């Protein structure tokens, strides 16, 4: 089979391949670095960071569900300053795109974090808008176009690196949010974040999670994610990072055919630490079998009936 060029540019950032690991599923890479050289990845999207350290929600906060998991971890993290001091120097030793995921309670918090991280040398910032706006009674930024745009503008003014906004699927029309953040200056969008779900233990009659509901991820959400990536890629001009249930090269190829320029592997990392590399190799084999010279030829290649 012919050799496929796996290199690509995403929102102005060069990556050796289109495989990223999703925020919240890879920590800061240290554990996975014991299995393989994490520099083989196209990008590493770090665990979500907040302005100050957070302990997260009380347990139980992760539970298995058919074809996936539910989680309400609650953004447990050491805070942006500790990340810059203790984690980023180690990550920078590897030849991968470093993407910092940030969450805030106000646009001002997002702006401060984005400047700190840009100055510290991350390659890209992923803005998690599935967070409560304390000024609006806890309403999530990502469900109202104007609020999502406000956060995007604040981050763009402070960041000196490309800004990607992570979109929530828990909305009526995800393309409306995508268009809003594009108009506000976003360089890319990533989707989907987890789908809100719930399970109940019928013996105890209690929810399986202490916080009652949580985010559903894993293979169960793949068809939802592919559909939303297709919708968004047809609605905006900026590149899309597709994620949600990817665990094979075929899954990744579906995302790219739907319009994603790159893909992120998430929950599969919990099952198999080598999942991202296997997705990369399987995707390359699919591209080679279709006689493609570059993996980027898959993007948007869906054939209409």
Query: Rounded distance, CA 302 to CA 178, Å?
Result: 21
Q: Is 131 a catalytic residue?
A: yes
DSSP-derived secondary structure for 62-108: EEEETTEEEE-----B--HHHIIIIIHHHHTTSSSEEEEEE--SSHH
Query: Rounded distance, CA 182 to CA 156, Å?
Result: 11
Q: Are 258 and 291 in contact (CB under 8 A)?
A: no
Residue with tokens 């105890």, as numbered in its chain: 204
Name 142's Cβ contacts closer than 8 Å, sequence gap at least 6.
Answer: 129, 130, 131, 148, 167, 168, 170, 171, 177, 193
Question: Which of 45, 97, 131, 136 is the catalytic position?
Answer: 131
Q: Are 50 and 79 in contact (CB under 8 A)?
A: yes
Query: Rounded distance, CA 74 to CA 182, Å?
Result: 27
Active-site residue numbers? 131
């Amino acid at each position: 089979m012919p050799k496929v060029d796996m290199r690509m540019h995403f929102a102005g950032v060069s990556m050796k391949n289109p495989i990223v690991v999703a925020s919240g599923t890879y920590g800061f890479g240290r554990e996975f670095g014991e299995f393989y050289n994490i520099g083989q990845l196209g990008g590493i999207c770090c665990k979500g960071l907040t302005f100050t350290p957070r302990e997260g929600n009380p347990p139980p906060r992760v539970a298995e569900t058919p074809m996936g998991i539910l989680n309400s971890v609650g953004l447990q993290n050491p805070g942006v300053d500790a990340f810059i001091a203790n984690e980023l120097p180690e990550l920078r030793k590897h030849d991968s795109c470093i993407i910092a995921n940030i969450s805030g309670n106000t646009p001002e918090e997002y702006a401060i974090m984005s400047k700190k991280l840009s100055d510290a040398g991350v390659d890209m910032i992923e803005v998690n808008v599935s967070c409560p706006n304390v000024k609006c009674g806890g309403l999530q930024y990502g469900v109202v176009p104007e609020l999502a745009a406000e956060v995007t503008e604040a981050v763009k003014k402070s960041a000196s690196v490309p800004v990607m906004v992570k979109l929530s699927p828990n909305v009526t029309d995800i393309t409306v949010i995508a268009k809003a953040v594009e108009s506000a200056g976003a360089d890319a969008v990533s989707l989907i974040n987890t789908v809100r779900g719930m399970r109940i233990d019928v013996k105890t009659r209690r929810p399986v999670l202490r916080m009652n509901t949580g985010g559903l991820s894993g293979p169960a959400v793949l068809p939802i994610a592919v559909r939303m990536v297709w919708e968004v890629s047809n609605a905006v001009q900026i590149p899309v990072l597709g994620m949600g249930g990817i665990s094979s090269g075929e899954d990744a190829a579906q995302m790219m055919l739907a319009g994603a320029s790159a893909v992120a592997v998430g929950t599969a990392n919990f099952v198999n630490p080598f999942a991202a590399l296997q997705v990369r190799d399987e995707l390359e084999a699919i591209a080679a079998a279709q006689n493609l010279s570059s993996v980027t030829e898959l993007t948007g290649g869906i054939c209409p009936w």
